[in-house]
Structure formats: C-alpha cells, structure tokens
Chains A and B, each alone.
Chain A
Amino acid sequence: MTYVKAVNAALAGAMRADPRVVVMGEDVAEGGPYTATAGLAEEFGRQRVIDTPISEATVCGVAIGAAQSGLRPVLEIMYIDFVALALDQLVNQAAKAHFMSGGQLRVPLVLRTQGGAGHRSGAQHSQSLESWLVHTPGLKVVMPARAVDAAGLLASAIADPNPVVVIEHKALYFRREDVPDPVEAVPLGVARTARNGRDVTIVAFSRLVYEALEAAEQLASEGIDAEVIDARTLVPFDLEAVLGSVSRTGRLVVAHEAVRQGGFGAEIASAVHEAAFDLLRAPVQRVGARFTPVPFSGPLEDAYVPGRAEICAAVRATLVS
C-alpha cells in the first residue's frame, strides 16, 4: 500500500467508525491533487466530504467551530505553505480554546497537510514549516515517515480531543509499504527506533528518516554504527527515547528538511544538552536546509534539499572530537 493510500484508508476507517468525522477542504470530494481523499465522497456522501472555497483562514475557523460543537473534522490544507493563511485560527483560536475556557471547550480537529521540496514546485509550494507550529502550546504536531505511521498516527490524531496538525510529505506519497488492514492506531508522542547502532544517534522525521537510514548504511561501510530514531511526533516529543539512545552512543545528529535556523532540531539539541550534557562526547550537530527560500531551478533545488551527504558529514563531525 502506498503512503497516500494508507492516509486514505485511515480516513475511511475513521469515518466508518465515527459518524462525527467529516473531511473538509479544497477539492476533497474529487480526491484532491494527491488522491488522499479519493472515493470518500462516493462512500460517505458530500454531507461528510465537504468541498470548501479557497478561503483557508475561514475554513480553518469553520473546522474549529465544528470541532468545538460536536464534529470531528479532518481539514485538508492542500500545501503547508497555505497554512500561513490559517495560522491565526490555529494559534489564536484552536490552540487556546480549551485553555482560555477553563477546560470547557475541546477542539478535536485534525489539520492534514503536506510539505517538502523536491518536486520543482517553487518557493510557495515546497516549504517545511513545522517550526511555526511546535512553538504554540495547545497544538500537537505529527510528521510521519512511513505509510504505516501516516495511517496509524492519523487514526490517533482523529481520536485525540485536541487540535493535531499532521504534516505529510509529498515526496513520500507514492512509496509502497505493508500496512495492516484495518489500520492500527499508532500513539502520539512515541518515537520509533528505525535502526539500532552503537556509535552515534541520528534523530530525524518525515522524509529525512529515509536519508538517515541511507546515511547509516554508507557510514556502516566506513565502520561507523549509527542508530536512527524516527521521532514521528514533534509535539509531544519523545525526549526519553532520544536520551536513552544518546546514553548509549554519546553522540547526536538531528536532521530535518526545514531551514536549519530556528528549526526543531535546535530544540532537540538544546533539550539534550540540558538533560544529558555529561553523556555527550561531542557537540550535537544539526542538519537542515540553508537559510534561503526553496529555489525552483533543478540543480539549485537538489543542492538545497538536505539529505544523506549532509547527514554523513554531520556524523563524521561528531566523531572528530
């Protein structure tokens, strides 16, 4: 099953199990540009698979109002770049409703979106913007790498009583993997060890998990045994899993596709420094994109997107000291 088909299966499963679940967004009744919602309108009708105008800010607010009134909306924002339009709603309404109401309101909203570069889509359709979201108390943020996690984390997100942003990656949509049918829920906030190793820990999420695994294979040929942790959820973050690994390896590299400056990797690095400075045998290294918009031109975009080579270089840097 492909990653996007797994997302589709999770949506269909949730809609079958709970009549409060509705899917909203631009073109969702037609399946969307990546077919994530294909077939849902046919099975559940257009009352529950709701096409919306290109009004991201307001539609996000509509989903919040529906969520706090009794529905469980799964809102699709077609590209994470457009989440910028909905940030006011996410940050000022969804994230704070439970808190500001003294616990009276709940916003069981899922915002599905996808990000990432590599498709020659230009600077407004290729970004990785999770850092904007992880800085807001009240939101949960999920970035699955595998199809099984894309489905399982989405199932958990729909069941969660809080607003959860699920960030898929467009370059992963058509990877094929085995996914159990029906979908099995994967708990939010639990990282996964994707590869065991002794010498260095690489923490990655979304597409960079695959780059980290490839880097680990290459490093193995150099005699370096890397452990790879797929964070899966950024908020709440499974710091225990990372600390457990670092306690064995003493070295840490954090890798993401987002711009390095102000990226979530800085948060992980800082948290590990604070909690386990005496375990570290070298400074934590960060891998992320350079501080530019995503370029359109092919050679430039290929150079922009961080991957295996950058991760290998970062790992070697931890081994110098």
Chain B
Amino acid sequence: MTSRATRPHRLAAKDITLSRWRHGFKSRWGCQQNRGCADPADRGATNAVLGSTWACLRGADWAVSNPERASGPGATGEAVTALELLGIMWRIRFFEEEVPRLQRAGLARGLLHLSVGQEGVAAGTCAMLRRDDLLYTGHRGHGHAIAKGVPLRGLFAELMGRLDGVCRGLGGSMHIVDVEHGLMGATGVVGGNIPLAVGSAMTARLGAREQLTVVLFGDGAVQTGYFHESVNLAALWRLPLVFVCENNGFAEFTPRSAHTTVERVCDVVAPYGLARQTVDGSDVIAVREAFGVLAAAARGGEGPALLECLTYRLRGHYEGDAQKYRAAISQAEWRDRDPIARLRRRGVSEGWFTDEAAAVAEGAAKEAVDEAARLARESTAPPLELMERLVYAQLEPA
C-alpha cells in the first residue's frame, strides 16, 4: 500500500451528491430525520441527533452555501487546487501566529497548542473532505478546523471564550466542535476521542451512508490503549475510517524514541491489515495524494486506513513551553520543512501558479485572518446562565 497513488486524488462532482446515502439511510431506518428545535442554544444539536441530518438538510447545496470552498480542492484543476491549498495553509499559519498575540494581550487564555509547521497535514487531509464527512481532532486542532471550513471568527472567538465562539465559549482551544462543518470533536485527553471516530464510522456503516470519518492525532496518542483497541475494531468491522497520525517526533516534551521501540506508526498497525502509508507531512501534495487514495478506498468499503505524516512542530508543545528539550531548528532546515514555502517554490516552478498569484493568496489569507480576529474581539462573554442550561440536553419536542 505504498505506491498506488500516481496523481493527486480529485473529488468528482458525483462524489458530492449525497442523494445516494440519503435514500439508503431513509429506506434502511425509515425514520423521521429532522425535528424542530426551538432553543437557539441547541443550534446544531438536533442535527447531531441523527448524524448527518445537517448534511441531509444542507448537503446538496453545501458548495453553494460555503463560498470559501465553492470550487473545492481538486474540482477545477491542479493549478487552482494547489493555490487553494496554499491559501488554506496561509490561513492556518496566520491564525496560529495571531494566537500568541491574543495571548499576550490577555484575550486568549489557557492552554494553547499551535500547529505552525504542520499545516501541510491539515490542508492535505481535512480540505479534501466533504462537508458532511466527519472529523475528530485533538488538542492541536486549530489547523484541522480551518481546513475543514470552520469560520475563522468563530474560532478566534472560541479561543477568547466569547459567545460568538463556535462552542459559545464553553469549549476553548482544545475542544473545538462545529457540527455544521462536520467537526465532531476535539479532545484534551490525548487519544481520548479515537474511539468516538470509530463510533461515527460505525453509524455511517449501519446507515449505509457514503460518509467518511477521519481522526487526527499525534504520535503520542499511538501509545494509548485507545489507539490499539480502536484500530482493532475498525479493522474488524471494515469501517469507513481514516486514521491520520501527525508524527512530529515529540510526545509533549519527550522524543518518540523514549516512549516506544516502534519508530514508524505504520508498523504498529501492520498486523491488523490496515491500508497504510508514511508520507512527508511537509509536502502537502504528497499528503493530499496519499490521503486521497486511502480515503477513497475507505469510503468505497475497502476498510480503514492509516496515514502517517512525518511533520515538524515549529513551536513548543504549548505556548509558553521553553523547549529546553530540543535544539532550535536552523534556517536552512526550516526552509526545507516549511510546508508553505515548499509548495510555493514547487508551484511556481511547476507552473501551477505564478509567484504573483501566490502573493495575492497570502495577502487574502492575512486579510481574512486579521478581519476575523478583529470581529471576534467585538463579541461578548457568554451569559452566566448558559453554563447551567447546557449541562443536559433537553428532550426534543414530540
């Protein structure tokens, strides 16, 4: 399972049509899929009651309703796709670079884990998904959320604990959820939601939906029992699930070699028979290509897969980490590791886009991030009564 991909995977128009699974789901389950929900605090909650109900409602026109992704990576040709990937990575980079500024200003508090240097994985995987595909991530998930289409303003506001945050300020940096965009969970307990992704994939299978679940985690999570038990179940049940490991070589402060004798995560899952591939996570085109092949197979019923992306975490485990445990990266090495600089060089040399177009994409991303951060500051803190109200979900009206 190492050389099946010969060209970047592209989503065909038929892939975006959701009517097939909708019909499958209805006939299989024969139940009412949507009920009204009067409480605005429960926005989206009704959707979650039936998995992809939101996709059922909005899925057919998602491209129209989401101008950010109107064309969709891969939909209109390689050159545009590469430029879009560059734009997504710039948005992630600028977002992550804004976070420490918000932290220093006292606006973003708490534990902040940034993904600077790992943008190639987010863009090469999450941006390849359909809106109704389900995504789970961990504590370092800002980039994944952005690549999946979660609005920047809602993300900033969430990090600031504001009412307009995607989780109304009740989740925070480590717990970004945006059901409307298929982001179903982010966990601060390392590896803790890998089983949830198995459950979502199981639901898609039972509902005969053409829906993929993807879970992203770091190499530290591979040493949890959850990872091994989940891989076992996903393989046993041949679920439409792709495990994506961002192997940045460090579990918090400690190098991988101090925690395990198994160097490559792909080797860990070999006995379970998963389709698997290790790629250079700083090469977004390689990530996209490998992920496309594995995702298409998993979606098509060929069983789960694991994509291991070797990547580099430029900043510390969290903001404020003194990083005494490793040497600073040299300029030359960073030039080679930086996924954005690499795609820009390659895109221009391959003729996928001009340097001017790349500069425009960079400027647009910067503008979008700055505007989102500015708007997020205008949001207010959530009302105190919200925390009491959201401990338990209310019964849906009959």
Q: Which A residues have a C-beta under 8 Å from some C-beta of B?
A: 18-20, 22, 47-48, 52-53, 55, 57-71, 73, 88-89, 92-93, 97-108, 137-138, 140, 159-162
Contact = CB atoms under 8 A, between A and B. Distances in A.
B53 A101 contact: no
B293 interface: no
A258 to B, nearest CB: 24
Interface of B: 28-31, 39, 41-45, 47-53, 134, 136, 165-172, 175, 177-179, 184-185, 187-189, 192-204, 206-207, 225-226, 229-230, 232-233, 236, 387, 390-396
A160 B394 CA distance: 8
Given A59-B229, A105-B177, 9 more contacts: A53-B232, A64-B195, A69-B199, A89-B192, A93-B192, A101-B175, A101-B177, A102-B177, A106-B48
A98 B41 CA distance: 11
Contacts of A71: 51, 199, 202-203, 206
A61 B193 contact: yes
A68 B393 contact: no
Contact of A162 (B50, B169, B392): B392
Contacts of B187: 92-93
Given A58-B226, A88-B192, A93-B196, A159 B395 contact: yes
A98 B196 contact: no
Given A47-B206, A97-B185, A104-B178, A61 B199 contact: yes
B51 A69 contact: yes
B393 A162 contact: yes
B345 to A, nearest CB: 40
Contact of A100 (B136, B175, B225, B393): B175
Contacts of B391: 98-99, 137-138
Contact of A69 (B134, B167, B192): B134
A70 B45 contact: no
A104 B44 contact: yes
Nearest to B226: A58
Contact of A106 (B193, B207, B393): B393
A106 B49 contact: yes
Give the most central of A18, A60, A104, A106: most B CB within 10 Å: A104
Contact of B233 (A62, A98, A99): A62
A65 B31 contact: no
Contacts of B167: 100-102, 104
Contact of A65 (B45, B175, B198): B198
A189 to B, nearest CB: 11
A138 to B, nearest CB: 6
B395 A161 contact: yes
17 contacts: A20-B29, A58-B195, A58-B230, A63-B199, A64-B195, A64-B196, A70-B207, A93-B193, A99-B390, A100-B170, A100-B175, A103-B41, A103-B393, A104-B43, A104-B178, A104-B179, A161-B49
Nearest to B391: A137
Contacts of B43: 103-104
Nearest to B205: A47
B29 A69 contact: no
B195 A104 contact: no
Give the most central of A58, A66, A67, A93: most B CB within 10 Å: A58
Given A137-B391, A161-B49, A103 B44 contact: yes
Contacts of B392: 98, 138, 140, 162
Contacts of A108: 49
Contact of A57 (B175, B197, B206, B229): B229
Contact of A19 (B30, B232, B395): B30
Given A92-B189, A104-B48, A65 B41 contact: no
Given A65-B202, A161-B396, A105 B48 contact: yes
B199 A102 contact: no
A120 B185 CA distance: 42
Given A101-B177, A101-B179, A69 B200 contact: yes
A101 B393 CA distance: 11
A103 B170 CA distance: 9
Contacts of A162: 392-393
A225 B208 CA distance: 60
A45 to B, nearest CB: 11
A19 B50 CA distance: 12
Given A22-B206, A65-B199, A103 B49 contact: no
B233 A92 contact: no
A71 B178 CA distance: 19
A64 B189 CA distance: 15
Contact of A53 (B51, B193, B201, B233): B233
A102 B161 CA distance: 11
Given A65-B202, A69-B199, A104-B177, A57 B226 contact: yes
A66 B48 CA distance: 10
